[in-house]
A and B are shown apart, each in its own frame.
Chain A
Amino acid sequence: MNAPRPYALLAEITYRCPLHCPYCSNPTRMRNNGELTTGEWGRVIREAAGLGVLQIGFSGGEPLARRDLAELIHGAREARLYTNLITSGVGLDANRARELRDAGLDSVQLSFQSDHVDLADEIAGANAHQRKLDAAANIRAAGIPLSLNFVIHRRNIDRLPQIIELTETLGAVRVELANVQFYGWAFLNRAALLPTREQVARAREVANAAKTRLTGKIDIFYVLPDYYETRPKPCLNGWGQRYLTVNPLGDVLPCPTASSAIPNLRFENVRERPLDWIWRESESFNRFRGTEWMPEPCRSCPQKEIDFGGCRCQAALLTGNAANTDPVCTLSPNRAQVDAVLRDLDQSSGHTREWTPRVNPRKAAIRPNA
Chain B
Amino acid sequence: MIPDHTQPRLADGVRLEIDGTTGKGVLLFPEGIIELNETAQEIVTRCDGRPLSEIVLGLAREYDADLEMLAADVRETLADLQRRKLVKLA
- Spell out A's residues near B (CB within 8 Å): 5, 7, 49, 52, 54-55, 80, 82, 84, 106-107, 109, 143-145, 147, 173-174, 216, 219
Contact = CB atoms under 8 A, between A and B. Distances in A.
A52 B17 contact: no
Question: Chain B contact residues: over half helix, strand or loop, or mixed?
Answer: loop
B13 A5 contact: no
- Lowest 9 A-B CB distances belong to which pairs? A145-B13, A82-B28, A52-B21, A107-B30, A145-B12, A107-B13, A5-B21, A147-B30, A80-B17
A5 B21 CA distance: 8
Interface residues of B, number: 14
B50 to A, nearest CB: 22
Given A7-B33, A109-B30, A219-B85, A173 B13 contact: yes
Interface in B10-43: 12-13, 15, 17, 19-21, 26, 28-31, 33
25 contacts: A5-B21, A7-B33, A49-B20, A52-B19, A52-B20, A52-B21, A54-B17, A54-B19, A54-B33, A55-B28, A80-B17, A82-B17, A82-B28, A82-B29, A106-B13, A106-B30, A107-B30, A144-B13, A145-B13, A145-B30, A147-B30, A147-B31, A173-B12, A216-B85, A219-B85
Contacts of B30: 84, 106-107, 109, 145, 147, 174
B17, B29, B85 pick with most chain A CB within 10 angstroms: B29
Contacts of A52: 19-21
Nearest to A174: B30
A52 B15 CA distance: 17
A144 B29 CA distance: 12
A79 to B, nearest CB: 10
Nearest to A242: B33
Contact of A54 (B12, B13, B28, B85): B28
Contacts of B15: 82, 106
Contacts of B28: 54-55, 82, 106
